[in-house]
Structure 1
Amino acid sequence: MVTAASPSVGPTGRPIRSFPAPASLKGHGPARIIALCNQKGGVGKTTTTINLGASLAESGRRVLAIDFDPQGALSAGLGVQTHDVTTIYDLLLGTVKDAASTIVHTSIAGLDVIPANIDLSAAEVHLVNEVAREQILARVLRQVTGEYDVILIDCQPSLGLLTVNALTAAHGVLIPLECEYFALRGVALLVETIDKVRDRLNPAITLDGILATMYDGRTLHAREVLERVVDTFGDDVLETVISRTVKFPDASVAGAPIITFAPEHQAAEAYRQLARELIFRGAVA
């Protein structure tokens, strides 16, 4: 029988610990590229990209977030204009050559973004006949890796050519996973896709972790799903757990990360904890 975690044990069943504050960096770059990926929509990929990026920037890291979803939710969530601007789509098609010219500074010091809009939905059609089409994003990002400590790619909810591009460009993958049964079912397929990319396109890619999101410890279902994820994936499941709260949609409407919209809220502290855990694990410098 699954029961609620005791005060000394976290939702993942492991003892609660506080990860140390990260040391300051003496320099910046080259960036480690992390793809936030899950073919199921609505699991917290964009929310995690925004708030992890902001938390890493708060800790002194230079962060570039890539909006790689035609919905442009990452751009909107950071208050970035997506119409009549150059986007990641222009870089993929080669109509714009200079990646630096598409970078937009956000209101968060140290956090930049390359925006996207609905144009990106046509990218797969245009790229399908390109030579080495799976490596186009990697070539684009090569121009800017020296300027940042981490690049976060917010993938669209599919396992199509854009997501394969992100996995080919990435050093690591972070899988946000909603604590819900149907979200759990798709993880095996995603891990299989990552394995195929490792075998055929990007031997160096690693799984940086599975992040439990939208967790509600009051429900037996959420606790059972998280327990099953930990049983299946073990230490690949991050200790940090992101709980469900109305503050996330409120922050999205405001076009701001939770750490500036509600800096004292437990959700803001959870993302700061996530940033510290990834630095502690070596996924981020």
Structure 2
Amino acid sequence: MPDSTVPAPLSKARVIALANQKGGVGKTTTTINLGTALAACGKRVLIIDNDPQGNASTGLGISHGQRDVGTYELLFGDAGLEEVSIKTDVPNLDVVTASVDLSGAEVELVGVGRREYRLKDAFARSRIAYDYILIDCPPALGLLTLNALAAADAVMVPLQCEFYALEGLSHLVRTIERVKRAFNPQLDIGGVVLTMYDRRNNLSDMVAADVRGFFGEKVYETMIPRNVRVSEAPSHGKPVLIYDHKSAGAQAYIQLAGEVLKREKKRQLAYG
């Protein structure tokens, strides 16, 4: 049964977990660049790097020497977001980094109390307000991802426009439904983002059509193209919107942010 003993987070943030158990589909890239685009729109954004690989931290230009505290301390300590978040070079955008300590968190979480709610509990004890909190999840449906799903308002699913990306999608949907029943009744699939779209490849169009047929309006109209500038940007420690804001990839993420904000406005009007 869902645990209702923990108060809701004091932050007004809309918490979105970016999840897909398949790797290489653009979760981290989407987290970084959607966060940057929302920040550019004047929203106060926090990215939580919940992946032991720490790619979101690297992609935002945070060196390993700057990762003294981060997601691990959030999960296992008494720290709040204000104690572990650090500013990035992007105005309005903060990050909670992933350090090497996070690699052992899956095993360590097994033996702690309220292991599924550690991230939710951390939000509840925080006193800092954001408009959006984006959680970059690892490519696995373990306890780190479960913590993100238990704490989130919605899941965003980045999906690569390739045949194998469709495999396991039904498993992810079933997992989200189980988490909803057992840990977080408010959880919903907020949207599906089609990534690495190649207009020259008929398979991309076929995959996009299949996904839209399955998820309907959950799929964002914006598709993120396969773009070399998007691939280059992380090696420079910059979001593509900073690295080359005129590139097709950067423009796509700006459009995606617009869709996210439009949907959020519609949701607020519907639910008050």
Quote how far apart the aligned CAs of 1:145 are: 6.8
1:105 paired residue number: 87
* Structure 2 residues without counterparts, runs of 5 or longer: 1-9
Q: Deviations over 1:226-283 (max 9, x none)?
A: 1111111111111110000110121111111111111111211111111110111117
Aligned counterpart in structure 2 of residue 182 of structure 1, from 164, 189, 214: 164
Tell whether 2:236 aligns with 1:254: yes
2:64 paired residue number: 82
How high is the TM-score relative to the length of structure 2? 0.91
Tell me, in whole angstroms, the C-alpha distance in 2 between the residues paired with 1:90 and 1:150: 21
Contact 1:82 1:115 in 2 (8 A): no
1:3 paired residue number: none
Aligned counterpart in structure 2 of residue 140 of structure 1, from 103, 107, 122: 122
Which structure has more helix as a fraction of its residues?
Answer: 2
Contact 2:80 2:123 in 1 (8 A): no
Instruction: Map 1:1-285 onto structure 2 (within 5 A).
Output: 30-83=12-65, 85-94=68-77, 97-144=79-126, 146-282=128-264
Coordinate RMSD, CA, aligned? 1.7
Structure 2 vs 1, CA of residues 92 and 210 (structure 1 numbering), >3 Å: closer, same or farther? same
Identity of aligned pairs, percent? 46
Q: Structure 1 counterpart of 2:19, which letter?
A: C
* Structure 1 residues without counterparts, runs of 5 or longer: 1-27
Tell me, in whole angstroms, the C-alpha distance in 2 between the residues paired with 1:116 and 1:172: 22
Quote how far apart the aligned CAs of 1:146 are: 4.5
Q: Structure 1 counterpart of 2:108, which letter?
A: H
Structure 2 vs 1, CA of residues 29 and 135 (structure 1 numbering), >3 Å: closer, same or farther? closer
Q: How many residues align?
A: 257
Quote how far apart the aligned CAs of 1:143 are: 3.4
2:4 paired residue number: none
- What SS class does the counterpart of residue 23 from structure 2 fall into? coil
- What SS class does the counterpart of residue 192 from structure 1 fall into? helix
Tell me, in whole angstroms, the C-alpha distance in 2 between the residues paired with 1:69 and 1:82: 14
- What SS class does the counterpart of residue 97 from structure 1 fall into? coil
